[in-house]
Chain A
């Protein structure tokens, strides 16, 4: 299965739950026992990070494409709640040193 198809399958099943549901599903996919969180996997994944990110985003575009007519609309869907994913308002206010990075709203 291609990377894109793999992520498309995963995200197609996650998307109807909205952003909160996605976060719960991903957050809950951790190892169960407290204090046993793993380090990042040491074995290199079959694909590089940039390939994996591109495949994830292709899958997101494909899912949103069913609801939006063009690329501009897909971005608008995402920015305004991602077609029902409902991300909270977010700003890229990075890097405020030791006291302040981004504001959550």
Chain B
């Protein structure tokens, strides 16, 4: 039986800003998901038993806060009314933060919504790409939203998309987060996906630049305790490298329905959530069915799913055969393989070299340094362990 771990729901495709690296094709469309569509989705998810081990619902793929608070109050009540008592469920928003006012901050706190705010660092870096449709920067409004969350004591994380400019400025990035009281940080890299072609990926040596950025950012965080409590890339890499031999890796993105996405019309997709909304004649735009017409439990038998799964598994097998880092990522990210290499049945991407391989190198290199400080000619910080003979 499939297990849905993450359910992505697009309440509206509309976004109130127009980031230069965004590939979502329909972000001027102000349509809103219908109540019946939500009922069809959640009633079937719960009836299927696919979410019995708990479910995270992320409202995204458009700016969720362009809809009124009343929409979510009603939707959450509907979902709660359908949910079996023993199934845990958490609602999450990924937002640009520009619309967080006092009422939103209060609702987020009251409803226990997990919040991620997209901000790309200080104003000069953020406003390079995160702009309105008239081209004005959105930094001031996003920071105002973050400050409201902090005033309410709402726990949040930020996601910052790293571009060539920010990769060259780890100190400036660190200083910004520290000054704004941002303690939980996630870094994405500007990727090539959909219609967007990343300029960063085209740079010679970008992987080494990424390594240097993370290395320096981590060093700064260690040197200033209590400022940055969580760097997702470092924490997840440490956990993945420093795991018992018996702990097997589960690649959620290569597992059917582990991540399930629904757009505002009820179309259902799986694997990488970015696939939903993108055009691709080879895979029928990645749409497995529509929750208003089809039964969720019938979707695993769809020929399209089997074709996608077969190609994705072929790519995973190629990674297993050829990549020294296979145990870190379990065969990579289908959407990156598709857009960088032209197909699912392929292997290495710039994305995985940066975000999997170089980060793993960083952890392994630090272990070597801790173990052999004499080789570097540098003294370890006070309190650190003795050299290994």
State the A residues within 8 Å of B (CB): 1, 6-7, 9-11, 13-14, 19, 22-32, 34-35, 37-41, 45, 48-50, 52-54, 56-58, 60-61, 64, 71-72, 74-75, 77-79, 82, 85, 87-88, 90-105
Contacts and interface: CB of A to CB of B under 8 A. Distances in A.
Given A28-B223, A34-B220, A104-B186, A98 B161 contact: yes
Contacts of A28: 219, 222-223, 380-381, 384
Nearest to A54: B245
B30 to A, nearest CB: 19
A10 B376 CA distance: 16
B241 A101 contact: no
Interface in B243-266: 243-247, 249-253, 259
B280 interface: no
Interface residues of B, number: 98
A94 B366 contact: no
Interface string B98-135: 00000000000000001010100000000000000000
A87 B241 CA distance: 12
A43 B157 CA distance: 37
Contacts of B365: 40-41
B242 A22 contact: yes
Contacts of A11: 242
B236 to A, nearest CB: 6
Given A10-B388, A56-B367, A97 B232 contact: no
Contacts of A94: 252-253, 329, 333
B369 A29 contact: yes
B76 to A, nearest CB: 19
Contacts of A103: 56, 58, 92, 114, 116, 157, 186
